[in-house]
Amino acid sequence: MDEQAVKKPKLVVAGASGFIGTAVCQELVKNYDVVVLTRSRTRSQMANQSIPITWLYCDLFSKHDVENALAGSEYAVYLVHVRMPTARLDQSHSDDINLLLADNFARAAHINNVKQIVFFGGMISEENISYKILESDNEVLKALSSYNVPVTSIRAGIVAGQGGIFIRLLGNMTIRFPIVFVPRWALKPRQPISVKDVANAVNYCIGNRETFGRQFDIGGPDIMPFDEMMKMTASSLGRKRIIITTNFFPSRLYALWIRLLCRGTNQNVINLFVESLHHDMRASDSQLQHFIMKDAESYSTALTGCIDKATNRFLPNPRIDPSNKDHTDLRFESRVRSIQRFTLQENGHAAWLAETFFRWLTEFVKPFISVNIDGDGSCSFYTRFPKLKLLTLTFKPEYSSLHRRMYFITGGVLLKHMIERKARLEFSDVLNGRFTIGAIHDYTPRLPWYFYISTQAMVHSFVMKAFQKHLEKQT
């Protein structure tokens, strides 16, 4: 048979290192040539050979890297949810990071004529829309849709599966203390779903034109209040626990209680979990929900698949987790990332913001530092007495446009040159020009690290906040 005739369509998955991504890839390899993007060199080298996928190192902050990674791809799955630091010093809010990454990905998908992006995120009900972390998912969806590539959005509440963070959270809450407290405000209906059913849902949507441009909530066959979920989790782990429903726990105190029981769990994850308990988390009726329900796993079955029957403990996480090595690498490389979001004036754009920033900065630092702006837009910073070049920002017109301005940080006594990655300052419009993101990537300071933290880093933070206030006064 002709090799070309049996060649599978290429599909790129971003954010596949989590337990959901692992299950999704296991399902997708049946029909697609799956390429998984990762920003962890360690993870790419530790790829699970039991799954026939290609691991590709890709810096999602680099538009060039993402464009190359998506070349030749027909479909893409976006599972990126940044909650952890991306550099040794991360002067950024996770919402702004997620927005920038989604914009980079959508832009690259458009350039490469990708037919569809499937996005998976947390379930958002109308009453839940104000919560910042879940609202960030809405921004990500808007960013993914802003370059006219059809996007299918799939959202779920608690996903049950081996390695799932929320299932481990429930388990720790039942294991660590003989009494399980459940606030009355948490007794809203929940519809947990098996990770296998999530993978089936993603697979169903890819290439299915009936799902293009649509949003779906999905859930499993069981609808139950939170206290019932806790009872079932304790029973599956072989624990007899007293469940007490109480009015005593306000949200913040309950989050603190969970942190005490689940030490080591990311605080943002716990906050997201506690906030979600306030809301009804049932899936709305849809064609995707009908498809899932045909063979959906019950919550009890999904739980059983997470637990070692011999020990009544959770099975090890199936995903590759070189996080300790990654954290060591971040410390060794000593890179800095700084991301700020700016609200633009009407008819504003990245080129205007960059020019405004450098004009303002020239006056703002005038008593201490002189700023020299060349005719080509490059910029150098000098101390006044004695005259010493601190930094040089070289404008790159080949990477720039009206909606993007790119400057490589190419010299100065404050820069430590790195061969592998070039430090850069970038201004990029996102969400169709609603905001501009100003970002410094891969900057490595020459100053000793802790001296840098207490001097240059603080000055940079102060300058960017002052510029934010300057812009607000202009609007």
Q: pLDDT by residue (tens digit) across 158-198? A: 999 988 888 889 999 998 889 999 999 999 999 999 999 99
Higher pLDDT, 268 or 224: 224
Q: What is the mean pLDDT of residues 63-91?
A: 91
**Structure confidence by residue, pLDDT tens digits, 242-263:** 999 998 889 999 999 999 999 8
Structure confidence at residue 145 as a pLDDT band (50, 70, 90): very high
Higher pLDDT, 52 or 356: 356
Higher pLDDT, 189 or 6: 189
Residue 74 has pLDDT above 80, yes or no: yes
**Mean of the per-residue pLDDT values of the chain:** 89
Structure confidence at residue 328 as a pLDDT band (50, 70, 90): low
DSSP 190: B
Residue 109 has pLDDT above 50, yes or no: yes
pTM for the full predicted model: 0.91
pLDDT, residue 420, reads 66
Cβ atoms of 325 and 42 within 8 Å: the answer is yes
Query: Tokens representing 313?
Result: 């403990």
Determine the Cα–Cα distance for residues 123 and 305; give it in Å rounded to an integer: 23
**Structure confidence by residue, pLDDT tens digits, 441-467:** 999 999 999 999 999 999 999 999 999
Residue 39 has pLDDT above 90, yes or no: no
Structure confidence at residue 59 as a pLDDT band (50, 70, 90): very high
Higher pLDDT, 393 or 126: 393
Structure confidence at residue 310 as a pLDDT band (50, 70, 90): confident
Strand partners of residue 406: 426
Question: How far from 56 is each of 40, 65, 199, 271, 396, CA to CA, in Å?
Answer: 9, 10, 21, 32, 27
Structure confidence at residue 45 as a pLDDT band (50, 70, 90): low
Closest listed residue to residue 186, CA positions, set 247, 95, 96, 259:
247
Residue 62 has pLDDT above 90, yes or no: yes
Residue 225 has pLDDT above 60, yes or no: yes
Domain annotation for the chain: domains and CATH numbers: 3-325 (3.40.50.720), 334-474 (3.30.530.20)
Higher pLDDT, 133 or 256: 256
Cβ atoms of 295 and 219 within 8 Å: the answer is no
Q: What is the mean pLDDT of residues 25-34?
A: 94
Percent of all residues in the chain with a pLDDT value above 70, rounded to a whole number: 90
pLDDT, residue 1, reads 44
Q: What is the mean pLDDT of residues 83-96?
A: 84
Residue 41 has pLDDT above 50, yes or no: yes
Residue 344 has pLDDT above 90, yes or no: no
Percent of all residues in the chain with a pLDDT value above 90, rounded to a whole number: 64
Determine the Cα–Cα distance for residues 245 and 279; give it in Å rounded to an integer: 17
pLDDT, residue 81, reads 86
pLDDT, residue 128, reads 46
In 334-455, alpha helices (H): 350-364, 449-454
For the packed helices 132-144 and 267-276, what is the interaxial angle rounded to 10 degrees? 100
Query: Tokens representing 447?
Result: 């100053």
**Structure confidence by residue, pLDDT tens digits, 285-295:** 999 999 999 99
Determine the Cα–Cα distance for residues 454 and 458; give it in Å rounded to an integer: 6
pLDDT, residue 340, reads 95
